[in-house]
Amino acid sequence: MKEMFDRAAHLGVESIVIGMPHRGRLNVLGNVVRKPLRQIFSEFSGGTKPVNEGEGLYTGTGDVKYHLGTSYDRPTRGGKHIHLSLVANPSHLEAVDPVVAGKTRAKQYYSNDRDRTKNLGVLLHGDGSFSGQGVVYETLHLSALENYTTGGTIHIVVNNQVAFTTDPRSGRSSQYCTDVAKALDAPIFHVNGDDLEAVVHVCELAAEWRQTFHSDVVVDIVCYRRFGHNEIDEPSFTQPKMYKVIRNHPSALEIYQRKLLESGKISKEDIDRLNKKVSTILNEEFQNSKDYVPNKRDWLSAYWTGFKSPEQISRIRNTGVKPEILKRVGEAMTTLPENFKPHRAVKKIFDLRRQMIETGEGIDWAVGEALAFATLIIEGNHVRLSGQDVERGHRGHQVRRQGPVGCYRDGLLLGARAGADGAGAEGAAARPPQLPFLKETRPL
Ligand SMILES: Cc1ncc(C[n+]2csc(CCOP(=O)(O)OP(=O)(O)O)c2C)c(N)n1
Query: Do 292 and 346 contact (CB within 8 A), yes or no?
Result: no
Tell me, in angstroms, the distance from the centre of ligand 1 to residue 163's CA: 6
Q: What is the pLDDT of residues 205-259, one digit of tens each?
A: 999 999 999 999 999 999 999 999 998 999 999 999 999 999 999 999 999 999 9
State the average pLDDT over residues 186-199.
98
pLDDT at 146 over 90: yes
pLDDT at 65 over 50: yes
Instruction: Give the 3-state secondary structure percentages of the chain, helix then strand then coil, rounded to 5.
Output: 45, 10, 45
**How many whole angstroms separate alpha carbon 153 and alpha carbon 187?**
12
Among 164, 176, 229, 242, which is best to mutate for testing ligand 1, by the most ligand atoms less than 8 A from CB?
164
Q: Dump strand ranges (E) for 40-108.
A: 70-75, 81-86
Indicate if ligand 1 lies below 6 Å from the C-beta of 160. yes
Check the CA dihedral 180-182-188-194 and report its sign.
positive
pLDDT category of residue 367 using cuts at 50, 70 and 90 = very high
Tell me, in angstroms, the distance from the centre of ligand 1 to residue 190's CA: 21
Helix 2-10 and helix 196-213: axis angle, to 10°? 30
Exposure class string for 94-119: b at 16+ Cβ within 10 A, else e: bebbbbbbbbbbbbbbeeebeebbbb
Query: Do 239 and 167 contact (CB within 8 A), yes or no?
Result: yes
Q: Dump strand ranges (E) for 2-118.
A: 15-19, 70-75, 81-86
pLDDT at position 312 is 74
167: number of Cβ within 10 Å: 14
Bridge partners, residue 75, by sequence: 81
Of 260, 208, 308, residue with least CA distance to 3: 208
> 387 or 22, which is more confident?
22
Domains and CATH numbers, the chain: 2-304 (3.40.50.970), 323-438 (no CATH)
Mean pLDDT of the chain: 85
pLDDT category of residue 390 using cuts at 50, 70 and 90 = confident
- Residue 277: enclosing H or E segment and its boundaries? helix 268-289
What 8-state DSSP symbol labels residue 310?
T
Burial of 221 (0-12, 13-18, 19+ CB in 10 A): buried
259: number of Cβ within 10 Å: 14
pLDDT at position 426 is 39
Indicate if ligand 1 lies below 6 Å from the C-beta of 129. yes
Query: Do 177 and 157 contact (CB within 8 A), yes or no?
Result: yes
- Ligand 1 atom 13 nearest Cα: 163
The lowest-confidence range among 54-58, 73-77, 183-187, 402-406 is 402-406
Q: Dump strand ranges (E) for 193-280.
A: 217-222
Spatial CB neighbours of 326, under 8 Å, sequence gap ≥ 6: 357, 371, 375
Q: What is the pLDDT of residues 263-316, one digit of tens each?
A: 999 999 999 999 999 999 999 999 999 999 876 555 555 556 677 766 777 778
Query: Do 127 and 161 contact (CB within 8 A), yes or no?
Result: yes
Indicate if ligand 1 lies below 6 Å from the C-beta of 128. yes
> 57 or 235, which is more confident?
235
Tell me, in angstroms, the distance from the centre of ligand 1 to residue 93's CA: 6
